[in-house]
Amino acid sequence: MSQADVFIIESLDFDDEENQRFEGRIISDILSMSGKQCAYYYIRTKRELSTLLERFSSSSYRYLHLSCHGGGNSLHTTLDSIPYAEFGKMIVPHLKKRRLFISACSAATRTFADHIMPVSGCYSILGPAEDVYFSDAAVLWASFYHVMFRADSTAMKYDVIKAKAQEVANMYRVRLSLFDHNTHSAKPYRMKTIAPQKES
């Protein structure tokens, strides 16, 4: 039976490591204090990522959170660069009926989603549509998971994800991208840009 908890894989550069900027670890600690069971792994290579995706796939966790650097057309572990096309082939077998949360600057684009959403069976992808400071990213994701699980600790639904993503976008003034399956047209998925609303 699957569980509504978060499986976190993190990979940063050496400067982040030296300065203790472990976003995923912070998120894991906060979720644990809230009573949620988390799995947290720190990796440095593409090979380790592949191994951890296999472990996620065989686990009962529903939600995968990736914390790494990205941009352009690739994601980065500490020691490797992974083009989106290659990353898509790595992750597609492991996302059926699950949700992906990607914390990598400007990675949540149509180009990224094109390699995952049409064939993976992934329910949704949520991530930043622009560069985000570490200090903002850590509290943004911690806030998002906190309000999501307060709304329902047993499941995540698209409409609730969209509403809570809007709340954190407003709070931290960050644009997010949300992808999910499109059941109303021939396109395999739809993209929702969640921009901060104007302050009154």
**pLDDT for residue 183:** 67
Burial state string for 120-139 with b = 16 or more CB within 10 A and e = fewer than 16:
bebbbbbbbbeebebebbbb
Q: Is residue 199 situated within a structural domain?
A: no
Residue 37 belongs to domain with CATH number: 3.40.50.1460
Render pLDDT for 72-86 as a digit per residue (tens, 0 to 9): 799 999 999 999 999
State pTM to two decimals. Answer: 0.94
What is the tally of structural domains in the chain? 1
pLDDT of residue 105 exceeding 90 = no
Instruction: Give the residue numbers spanning the domain of 39.
Output: 3-194
Distance CA 166, CA 40 (A): 26
